[in-house]
Amino acid sequence: MYADTHCHLSLIAERGITLSELLLELEEKQFQFVMDIGTTPGDLGKRVETVLSSFPSIPSYLFFSCGLWPSPQSIAEADESIAALERDLDTLLQIDALPDYAALGECGIDRHWNGKPPVPGGEGGSLDLSGEEDLFARQIAIARSRNLPVIVHSREAFDITRSIIANEGWSRGVIHCFSYGKTEARSFLDLGYYISFPATITWGKKSVDRDRIAELLSYVPQDRLLLETDAPYMAPVPHRGEINTPARIPLVYQSAALFLGITEEALAARVVHNARTLFAFTKGLC
């Protein structure tokens, strides 16, 4: 019934969730579409092996992307990282056993972490902002050359994200984990992009927050709307603060359907259709 268009199964497994049980649960609940997202150079093999070591075969609902999140290492070693990404894409797109949906990503701009001095004793980002932008632009160019949709990470970086997408001229993709407002949504929609909402739509406690979420969800055309968990991150209420998994996405659908004034079943069918439309891959075009 459901689609989760953005999750990280290897990271879920690393946090102690038994992947075999999770995948079986998704199968029993008749999930239609789950996309496992790449973030680091050369990570496809590990991610596929993580699934195959937990399950007899790749589940029919499970698909893979390959991409480079704007980490300090990928930015500093851009040529090597891009080469590893290209190899992973060659592998992904040539494996007959893997399904007919694929994407490049996640990739993008993160100005929450990048561009700031590292916190003493804590996490830090890259100070090489031009390198971050170049890494993103190169990946969009690769997506265009391979006719792949691009999964875009954009955090506290609307202007530069939009500028790079527009300059590269590739209108097939999704802004995942959308964290902006209506004005920004309109701009990305005008570029041809889908908008994907995570479980943060379940977090609003005050009526003003719920009204804002309802207005934003209603603003996005339903044929451009996607939903995701970004698991293991950002679990929905009432599990906020816990390890998230795709099995919790029904809570996201429940909230979104309520905000939109439609049935959960109708919304689920719409999102599955949207996911299959956006991520459809035709090998003959690459």
Q: How many CB atoms are located within 10 Å of the residue 116 CB?
A: 12
Q: What is the pLDDT of residues 115-149, one digit of tens each?
A: 987 777 667 899 999 999 999 999 999 999 999 99
Check residue 99 and give its pLDDT: 63
What domains can you pick out in the chain, each with its CATH number?
3-285 (3.20.20.140)
Average pLDDT along the chain:
95
Query: CB–CB of 164/150 below 8 Å?
Result: no
Average pLDDT for 152-162 = 98
Among 168, 119, 111, 166, smallest CA distance to 145 is for: 168
Check residue 121 and give its pLDDT: 66
Residue by residue, what is the 3-state secondary structure of the chain? CCEEEEECHHHHHHCCCCHHHHHHHHHHCCCCEEEECCCCCCCHHHHHHHHHCCCCCCCCCEEEEECCCCCHHHHHCHHHHHHHHHHHHHHHHHCCCCCCEEEEEEEEEECCCCCCCCCCCCCCCCCCHHHHHHHHHHHHHHHHHCCCCEEEEEECCHHHHHHHHHHHCCCCEEECCCCCCHHHHHHHHHCCCEEEECHHHHCCCCHHHHHHHHHHHHHCCHHHEEECCCECCCCCCCCCCCCCCHHHHHHHHHHHHHHHCCCHHHHHHHHHHHHHHHHECCHHHC
- Size of the chain, expressed as the number of residues it contains: 286
Query: CB–CB of 113/123 below 8 Å?
Result: yes
Read off the amino acid at residue 81: S
Contacts of 121 (CB under 8 A, 6+ apart): none
Check residue 284 and give its pLDDT: 47
Q: What is the pLDDT of residues 172-223, one digit of tens each?
A: 999 999 999 999 999 999 999 999 999 999 998 889 999 999 999 999 999 9
Check residue 144 and give its pLDDT: 97
Instruction: Look at 99 and 234; give whichever has higher pLDDT.
Output: 234
Q: What is the pLDDT of residues 215-271, one digit of tens each?
A: 999 999 999 999 999 999 999 999 999 999 999 999 999 999 999 999 999 999 999
Contacts of 148 (CB under 8 A, 6+ apart): 89, 102, 103, 104, 142, 172, 281, 286
The yes-or-no verdict on residue 286 having pLDDT over 60 is no
Check residue 116 and give its pLDDT: 86
pTM of the model: 0.95
Listed range (2-16, 118-132, 144-158) with the worst mean pLDDT: 118-132
Listed range (70-79, 89-98, 153-162) with the worst mean pLDDT: 89-98
Instruction: Look at 281 and 215; give whichever has higher pLDDT.
Output: 215
Measuring CA to CA, how many Å separate 267 from each of 84, 102, 193, 209?
Answer: 37, 22, 19, 22
Q: How many CB atoms are located within 10 Å of the residue 5 CB?
A: 29
